[in-house]
Amino acid sequence: MIQIRGLTKIYDGVPVLSGIDLDIKKGERIAIIGPSGTGKSTLLRCLNFLETPEQGEYVLDGKSIDVQKAKASQIKEMRLRTAFVFQNYALFANKTARENIAEGLITVRGEAKETAFERADEILRDIGLADKADAYPASLSGGQQQRVGIGRAMANNSELMLVDEPTSALDPEWVDEVLQLLTRVAQARQTMLIVTHEMAFAKEIADRVLFMEGGRIVEQGPPEKIFTSPDDLRTRSFLRKVL
């Protein structure tokens, strides 16, 4: 569905992503694990054009986008095809839960407010927050905010959901409800790329696990393989530390 070719991102002369190649198939759920500062977030951010990579291309349904020469229309297309769930939720502070979910439908996709709000209410029921439709983010718990964040990503029916450490900013008490919701999203075969430190969760939902270190994909494979008998020494030593 989306192929990433030779993706390179450099900060201050230091490569943070060094020629990432990755094919993402429709319906595939990919977990990315790896030590801090290895470019996991950067990879997701590049796919959403929150960062402009120095080199590489994205191939969408056979059409290629050169990241350096991407036109505004191609950047927008990429953003519409991907939906970001942020570590710190990043809900619009001036909008209610319902408005947060409907915002993209109204402003970007030009839907009528009524239909967008209907869709938002449907999602709010689905994520168990129907009673919080009119609440502003500041009055929601971290777990509730992140669920709205996931709802916002669901609303856009994007092909690829990019989820960056969805629970690492949460108080422990809210982690489960967020992981449960994401598990349901994954079970609906939403294509997703999810960076997480929750290994049990990764094992449960992922079709494929990528281990990243130093801006490269060091090793990848099905979770059974990666978590039990990884080939690479670096994967092994990382897993020994976190498991």
Shortest Å, Cβ 22 to ligand ATP: 15
Shortest Å, Cβ 38 to ligand ATP: 4
Residue ranges that bind ligand ATP, judged by CB under 6 A: 11-12, 16, 36-42
Q: How far apart are CA 133 and CA 124, in angstroms?
A: 7
Shortest Å, Cβ 45 to Mg ion: 9
Q: How far apart are CA 56 and CA 78, in angstroms?
A: 14
Neighbours of 53 (CB within 10 A): 25
Among 38, 42, 48, 167, binds other proteins (CB under 8 A): 48
Label residue 200 left, alpha or beta by phi (over 0 means left) and psi (-120 to 50 means alpha). alpha
> Binding partner of residue 190 among ligand ATP, Mg ion, other proteins, none, CB under 5 to 8 Å per kind?
none
Q: Choose between 15 and 80: whose C-beta lies nearer to ligand ATP.
A: 15
Using CB under 8 A as the binding rule, whether residue 73 contacts other proteins is answered as no
Binding to other proteins in span 87-116, by CB under 8 A? 88, 90-95, 103-104, 107-108
Q: State the DSSP string of 160-213.
A: EEEEE-TTTTS-HHHHHHHHHHHHHHHHTT-EEEEE-S-HHHHHHH-SEEEEEE
Q: Choose between 85 and 140: whose C-beta lies nearer to ligand ATP.
A: 85
> Binding partner of residue 16 among ligand ATP, other proteins, Mg ion, none, CB under 5 to 8 Å per kind?
ligand ATP
Phi, psi of 160 (to 5 degrees): -125, 125
Pick from 199, 194, 189, 185: nearest CA to 155: 185
Q: Choose between 86 and 201: whose C-beta lies nearer to other proteins.
A: 86
Shortest Å, Cβ 162 to ligand ATP: 12
Piece of 11-19, 110-118, 135-143, 214-222 that binds other proteins (CB under 8 A): 135-143
Phi, psi of 99 (to 5 degrees): -65, -35
Q: How far apart are CA 137 and CA 4, in angstroms?
A: 34
> Binding partner of residue 76 among Mg ion, ligand ATP, other proteins, none, CB under 5 to 8 Å per kind?
other proteins
> Binding partner of residue 49 among ligand ATP, other proteins, Mg ion, none, CB under 5 to 8 Å per kind?
other proteins
Using CB under 5 A as the binding rule, whether residue 41 contacts Mg ion is answered as yes
Pick from 105, 110, 107, 108: nearest CA to 121: 105
Using CB under 8 A as the binding rule, whether residue 152 contacts other proteins is answered as yes
Q: How far is CA 111 from CA 80, 101, 117, 180, 239, in A?
A: 14, 13, 10, 30, 46
Residues lying near Mg ion in the complex (CB under 5 A): 41
